[in-house]
């Protein structure tokens, strides 16, 4: 099954980002393909390369980057939501790119399912 994922919450304010990451990892392990992860609203904070959680905490920015690189997953940050939150191209972690809502629509069309995490 081809999956698209939408993440609407930041990595440290809500369980949605953790759940989305774990879902994507489990889906890949089961042989499914994650085509694209679209980060919207506060979810854009999952791409902030300046994020430095404590050493005993999970680093979702790094985990998303590694997952995207290892499995060829597009990690798309919504340009409008990103700019509202100060996220510019130079602040993006490895593997993330900025684009528009068209990428979300395209993921919904290309995927068998589009799974949304967060409000």
| pLDDT tens-place string over residues 14-66 | 899 999 999 999 999 999 999 999 999 999 999 999 988 888 778 999 999 99
**Distances from the Cα of 90 to the Cα of 11, 22, 25, 79, 97, angstroms:** 19, 27, 27, 13, 10
Does residue 78 carry a catalytic annotation? yes
Count of the separate structural domains present in the chain: 1
Listed in sequence order, the residues at least 6 apart from 119 whose beta carbon sits closer than 8 Å to its beta carbon are: 8, 9, 16, 41
31 φ/ψ sector (left φ>0, alpha ψ -120 to 50, else beta)? left
Q: How far is C-alpha 52 from the chain's CA centre?
A: 17
Residue 42 belongs to domain with CATH number? 3.40.1260.10
Whether 4 and 109 have beta carbons less than 8 Å apart is answered as: no
pTM for the full model? Answer: 0.94
Q: What is the mean pLDDT of residues 86-101?
A: 96
Catalytic residue among 78, 79, 81, 107: 78
| pLDDT one-digit tens code per residue, 5-14 | 999 999 988 8
* Residue 42 near residue 86, CB atoms below 8 Å: no
Can you give the residue range of the structural domain that contains 49? 2-117
Which residues, 6+ apart, have CB-to-CB distance to 53 below 8 Å?
Answer: 12, 59
Q: Under 8 Å CB-to-CB from 33, ≥6 apart: which residues? A: 1, 2, 3
């Amino acid at each position: 099954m081809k999956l698209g994922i939408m993440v609407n919450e930041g990595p440290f304010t809500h369980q949605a980002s953790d759940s989305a990451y774990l879902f994507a990892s489990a889906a890949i392990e089961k042989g499914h393909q994650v085509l694209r992860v679209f980060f919207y609203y506060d979810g854009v904070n999952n791409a902030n390369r300046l994020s430095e959680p404590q050493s005993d905490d999970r680093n979702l920015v790094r985990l998303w980057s590694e997952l995207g690189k290892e499995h060829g997953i597009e990690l798309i940050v919504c340009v409008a939501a990103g700019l509202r939150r100060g996220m510019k191209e130079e602040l993006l972690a490895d593997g993330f790119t900025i684009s528009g809502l068209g990428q979300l629509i395209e993921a919904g069309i290309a995927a068998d399912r589009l799974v949304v995490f967060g409000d």
